Structure 1
């Protein structure tokens, strides 16, 4: 049995009254320091639904919290049995070289997804081993006490012409700011900018003196977008397809402002670009009618970029009007659960895998993120918490 099956089996052995008591523990937080699951999610939930809520909320800690809740309702014998079985699964996974929750984490997120409460912390041992064994293949981070990491976050939500408003993007902004701060970046945040203002903020950010004391940076742009002059463009808040079609910012300008010539303070340092924006008007699906680095006096003009975009060229980037963009939700979820051991390209791959199999995108509506204009000679580990 996997972890979820063990948890379901434990709850199936509870009578209805004890099951109610168990759920009461969950929506009251089990104990200090464990955030509760909202009562509304549990009131009509059956046992498998409750397990899904536990895994969505607590990830790898779900089994442990189930054991704690069982003890709280004096089901000590069942708690002991579950704890023993969970330890057996963990030991088996260690032998096999797999993590027990990988199968869960590789699945599409649920429609009621909420941001994890914490980001998993890398261990000192993992960091030390990685930097020792892969020292020539990874970007070496600066000591936390000495570095000054900065990130730029621009989100367009309310537009001059209200038909362009991006409902739900407030959640994207909130989630991305939280994630960047959890990764130890000081976030410069701007909202509702014109194309010209976006350009100015990117230029200002490239000139920030703290990049000299940084080891990496993030730039996150979230707005409407389109392909203009065969380039990816971010639309400003004054944009109108007829009245003001020239209010936009070319994504390429991020690279030209942060490259080695314009931003020498970031030479040989990772620059992660995340773009949540449409890249055209195609739905993303088609009908198939068939059966089947050491620096010297010269440097590369553009290097060390990691660029991840919400969709393929020419395709819509879908967004939920309440929970925000699917791309941002997946990034936050994957980074929180797996950035403690995976490098950033592997994180991007896992986001892509999960989005590609999301059942909400059926028929012609398809959403596939895209790694674009990426030039890293080394692996980037974020080592959250360190």
Structure 2
């Protein structure tokens, strides 16, 4: 039955591909630049190849074809939507929740459509020195693509394009101005929503943010430009990221780049435009603690090995040496951390990654001996003072563990799949006092859930959070996205998930004191899922 369904699904996409002309395919490829690496797009010549890539990377599957529907809608091929069960109104109604094409890409596509023949010829003439020498006639999409390839056009670099449009057509310039004003408006709105009058300064130099999501409100916005959240109850004073809230909002700031430039006058006051060094011979180590079997009343974490194996594959692909520790007691975890704290290997390493898969409660995780370890303590082993060889280097912690026993309520229901969900919660007990993160820079903490709530683990497929993290790293690292943008996409992915009855939801909570952008170098090999 599954094979028949798969065949029918692919036949529908093949029919759609057959209904698209050469110009439609170029439009499709242009809109997919947020979804497919540019190098791969360049060699694609058909819609079928585009669809095949989206399927192989699980952007499109039999259960979810919305990305295809969105692309058809944006290239004005409304007549093909019924092939996959959509119509114009259905697509429009879901764009704000499920849309994958960025505002920036939409704006560029509209510009390409609005170029008159004379205006395009004039633009090509003005930009002649920046365009391929042998190409005298270009479409609007080809022109914009050429500028992007030469790094003369990007979401944060519209100066050249705006200047040309001003000379060629004031109407085109207005589109760019409207887009820029919209971005500014979102930024202002973000600031108003996340930095109320109760904000107080953090010892890190940042501002504190409020809890943005309470129980019963788990609907998440879909763009990475949406408001940043905050974190206190998990681990204390850190900067937070994403449109997800929660744990209590204090001592965090929406824009980390601003927080450090406000009070420092040395060279690091300009770090907002800098990146962490990540091109050394040794990327660093990924320390992976996978606790599956516990003493006492804590249940077995079935499916955790799936997460552990995927994390190992992804971080090895990113160039890290992975050290895995299975089923460690609290004492053993401390011993391993102490060993790595004094390791000379950090001298030539660019970065530390530490992943912990376990049960937990507010601000703490369990060893297999059912003893709690504060997350603050785990991170404190690697502060600049305690581990000087990692000073000024990024330290990333990803924690897959419950942070309480409450269940987040769902907004949308889905009752079509089998229920194999477990939770990473404590068995019982009152919340413990909230620890705080060491007041040091260059940390990033990715929590699977906000404080007080459960996180979910599929016994055959792994946890929602870790699987989303690995998927987004594989998808977005090749596109040059920084870690904060990637984690925002992880937030978005997990926020859409629910149990079969639609009653259980989850909202991850990243937090950070990073002072620069962290961008993983693009590996030479394809992502693990694409390897034979």
Q: Normalized against structure 1, the TM-score is what?
A: 0.63
Distance 2:150 2:383 in 1: 31
1:273 — aligned with what?
Answer: 397
> Secondary structure of 2:379's match?
helix
Distance (Å, rounded) in 2 between the aligned partners of 1:283 and 1:350: 22
- 8 Å Cα contact 2:288-2:322 kept in structure 1: yes
- 1:107-146 aligned within 5 A: 137-144=273-280, 146=281
Query: Quick check: 1:339–1:381 contact (8 Å CA) kept in 2?
Result: yes
- 1:382 aligns with 520
Aligned to 2:365: 234
User: Deviations for 1:286-342, whole angstroms, at most 9, x for unmatched residues?
Assistant: 89xxxxxxxxxxxx9511111110001010111001111110110011110112221
Are the equivalent residues in 1 in contact too, given 2:278–2:520 (CA < 8 A)?
Answer: no
User: What's the RMSD between the two structures over aligned residues?
Assistant: 3.9
**Paired residue total:** 282
Q: Which residue of 2 aligns with 1:255?
A: 379
* Distance in 1 between residues matched to 2:452 and 2:351, nearest whole Å: 30
Matched residues in 2 for 1:183 and 1:353: separation?
A: 23
Cα 1:283–1:136 shift into 2, 3 Å = closer
Structure 2 residues not aligned, in runs of 5+: 37-49, 65-148, 158-269, 412-437, 525-532
Q: Whole-Å Cα distance in 2 between the matches of residues 354 and 204 of structure 1?
A: 36
Alignment of structure 1 residues 358-377 onto 2, 5 Å: 358-360=497-499, 363-372=502-511, 374-377=512-515
- Stretch of structure 1 that moved more, 267-276 or 99-108: 99-108
SS at match of 1:354: helix
Q: In 2, distance between residues paired with 1:110 and 1:167?
A: 27
2:471 is aligned, of 320, 323, 333, to: 333
| TM-score, length basis structure 2 | 0.47
Which stretches in structure 1 are left out of the alignment for 5+ residues? 1-39, 53-62, 71-77, 113-124, 240-246, 288-299
The change in CA–CA distance for 1:111 and 1:162 in structure 2 (over 3 A counts) is farther
Alpha-carbon separation, structure 1, partners of 2:290 and 2:60: 25
1:322 and 2:460 aligned: yes
> Could you tell me which of 8, 29, 45 is aligned with 1:47?
8
**1:13 matched residue in structure 2:** none
Aligned to 1:310: 448
Matches of 2:352 and 2:326, distance apart in 1: 19
Q: Which has the higher contact order (CA 8 A, sep 6+)?
A: 1
Q: Is the 8 A contact 2:292 2:300 kept in 1?
A: yes
Matched, 1:351 2:475: no
Q: 2:345 aligns with which of 187, 199, 210?
A: 210
CA contact (8 A) 2:410 2:505 kept: no
